[in-house]
Amino acid sequence: MDYTVKIGGEAGQGLVTVGEILSRVFATAGYHVFSHQDYESRVRGGHNFYQIRVSETPVSSSLEKIDIVVALDRASIELHGPELTDEGFLIYDSETLEEKLKGSRYIGVPFKKLATKDGGSPVMANTVATGAALGMLGMDIAPLLDLIEKRFRKKGDAIVEGNVKAARAGYGYAKEHCPECRFLPAPPVSAKVMLTGIEAISLGAISAGLKFYSAYPMTPSTGIMNNLSAMAEKYGIVVEQAEDEIAAINMALGASFAGVRAMTGTSGGGFALMVEGLSLAAITETPIVIAEGQRPGPATGFPTRTEQGDLLFILHTGHGEFPRVVFAPGTPQEALNLTNRAFELAEKYQIPVFVVFDQYLADCQWTYESLSTEELVYKDYRLRGDAFASQKEYKRYAYTESGVTPLGVPGDAPHVVVADIDEHDEEGHIVEDAETRIRMTDKRLFKKLAAIREEIRPPLRYGSESPDTVLVGWGSTYGVIKEAVDALNERGDNAAMLHFSELYPFPARGGYMKVLEDAKRTVCIENNATGQFARHMSAETGYEFALNVNRYDGRPFTVDYILRGIEDAVS
């Protein structure tokens, strides 16, 4: 069983509510789920959709063909009707659309009429639509009713009862009026954990001991601030909405200097304002984690859509030369692990570390049997209390073999902690001489970078052991490339994937280079126009890809898009 349900409508029609509820019902019932959203930046108006793939086996990308379309407006019928599979069906509000659509594949359901029956409310029409979708799939309605009871419990018995009636009405109507539906449920299995990329980044930060988060709201990073705010009291986190991104990064740096783990988040346009603060972190050697959510630019661009267009900006921005680490998780599990690790490396080496994601990873929902916590670590690298006080002398920037000097917490000992944005000596005082400048640059840059490189992991390899075709990607393309490799192997193409999630410093040359060099065809797949990762890898290793498949219309890849792209590139 592998079905796709798409809910389409205008902003404000509640399609996200329908999508979220359906996704959770599927996950609770034990199915594997992968969902993604497409929404316009206008507050009201424009076409949006929520797409859910539900399967008996793990899934990690969306498909182009749809089995059930839930159309909340006419545009959804026109846009998504042609996407139906040969056995697919479309349900629509037969009251909103006055004429009856012709064809047995179009099922008219009076959403509002069924919602208001027996004293219900028109706003419960979405619950009718949700029940109707489950009825068409032939699923048990019990998980939906349980979720309704939990979701609306605080609003009172009347609201719960009204939504239960609405769900039953839609469910029964769809089963009665769609006898041709042949969607069979999978056998019951255990419930799944469902997680988005944004939720995983938030949890990764909490697991690493985050105590201060500052940001200015900017899609797609705003969800981090929202999630952390909801959990702030429980985990003792200060969450500050700054007046702009300049203030946000400086607040986080101040909190880090004062002795707590700190993080900021933004998108490309907001990060442009943080660049001076990035160099401030570098010269003061203040640990900070920056979550950068990519979306199509330049300027405001497509503020609610997806792209991998900020990689080279993040790699090279900031005046002066200094080390940084750049992670780009490909799944929620990886986002959890790498965000946790970002704090570890930021504190260990006293550097800025980036967690780079995009709108697609931010909003996508994945299901897991359980989340692994094996890689999560916490170690306090700061000098505090008695350990700090016991130091005979303290020099904030003392020269060491590793380039890393003790990070004392101001006020925790009689020692004075001096930091300066000018070039400085070991004690932190301003200097002008050439010799100190050279020693400090070597300390901050070369010594640290050599040690950091040893901690960078190679790309994940998946597929054939001796592939003829190798697909390469980074960040959010993990799932769709993985399924593209499966599709190629099913048709006998002997394919494998290399997925990079640790981008800088670049992984040391190793076995993955031999995989590329031995392959007959290598393809770099990126959600940008210019092949930024391909250029980055060329600069770091000298390797040039044979083919490139790029998508830069603000939409995510599908398996079909990748396969067509490879065929077009070859021809």
Fold match, 195-368 / 460-570 = yes
259: tokens are: 């002795």
Q: Mapping DSSP to helix (H, G, I), strand (E, B) and coil, where does residue 569 land?
A: helix
Query: Which amino acid would we find at residue 313?
Result: F
| pLDDT (0 to 100) of residue 461 | 98
- For 205-215, b/e burial (b = at least 16 CB within 10 A) is bbbbbbbbbbb
**What pLDDT is recorded for position 171?**
93
Q: What single-letter amino acid sits at 384?
A: R
- Burial, 298: exposed, middle or buried (Cβ in 10 Å; 0-12, 13-18, 19+)? exposed
Please report, for the chain, the start and end positions of each structural domain, with discontinuous segments joined by +: 2-177, 195-368, 382-453, 460-570
Residue 99: its pLDDT value, please? 63
pLDDT tens sequence across 242-260: 999 999 999 999 999 999 9
All residues at 6 or more sequence positions from 129 whose CB lies less than 8 Å from its CB, including other chains? 7, 18, 70, 72, 91, 93, 109, 111, 170
Both tokens of 11, joined, read 């902003």
The pLDDT value recorded for residue 532 is: 98
Highest mean pLDDT among 46-50, 74-78, 478-482: 478-482
Q: How far is CA 503 from CA 40, 353, 474, 507, in A?
A: 30, 11, 8, 7
How far apart CA 467 and CA 439 sit, in angstroms, is 47
Q: Quickly count: other Cβ atoms within 10 Å of residue 22's Cβ.
A: 27
Residues 191, 369: Cα–Cα separation, whole Å: 7
Residue 406 burial (10 A CB sphere; 0-12, 13-18, 19+): middle
What is 31-52 written as a DSSP string? -EEEEEEE--SSSS-SEEEEEE
Mean pLDDT of 400-404: 95
In whole angstroms, what is the distance from residue 332 CA to residue 194 CA? 9
Tell me: pLDDT of 70 over 90: yes
- Section 381-398 average pLDDT: 94
**Residue 370 zone, left/alpha/beta (φ > 0; ψ -120 to 50; rest):** beta
Note the CATH number of domain 460-570. 3.40.50.920
Residue 43 scores a pLDDT above 80: no
Question: What is the rounded end-to-end Cα distance, in angstroms, of the chain?
Answer: 34
CATH topology of domain 195-368: Rossmann fold (3.40.50)
Enter the tokens of residue 392. Answer: 């005979």
Helix axis angle, 332-349 to 197-207, nearest 10° = 40
Each residue's pLDDT tens digit, 353-371: 999 999 999 999 999 999 9
pLDDT, average across residues 107-120: 86
In angstroms, what CA-CA distances link 491 with 61, 290, 361, 486?
Answer: 19, 42, 28, 9
Condensed to tens digits (0 to 9), the pLDDT of residues 445-476 reads: 999 999 999 999 999 999 999 999 999 999 99
Q: Using CA atoms, how far apart are residues 152 and 166, in angstroms rounded to an integer? A: 13
Helix (H), strand (E) at residue 136: helix 125-137
Q: How confident is the model at residue 120 (pLDDT cuts 50, 70, 90)?
A: confident
Residue with tokens 């992670």: 327
Q: Where are the alpha helices (DSSP H) in 390-510?
A: 434-441, 448-453, 478-490
Q: Would you call the peptide bond into 58 cis, given omega within 30 degrees of 0 as the criterion?
A: no
Q: Evaluate whether 244 touches 273 at the Cβ level (below 8 Å).
A: yes
For residue 483, how far is the Cα from the chain centroid?
A: 18
Q: What is the mean pLDDT of the chain?
A: 94
Question: Residue 34 has what pLDDT?
Answer: 97
Q: Looking at the domain that runs over 2-177, which CATH code has it been given?
A: 3.40.920.10
Residue 53 C-alpha from the chain's centroid: 17
> Cα(413)–Cα(390) distance, rounded to whole angstroms?
8
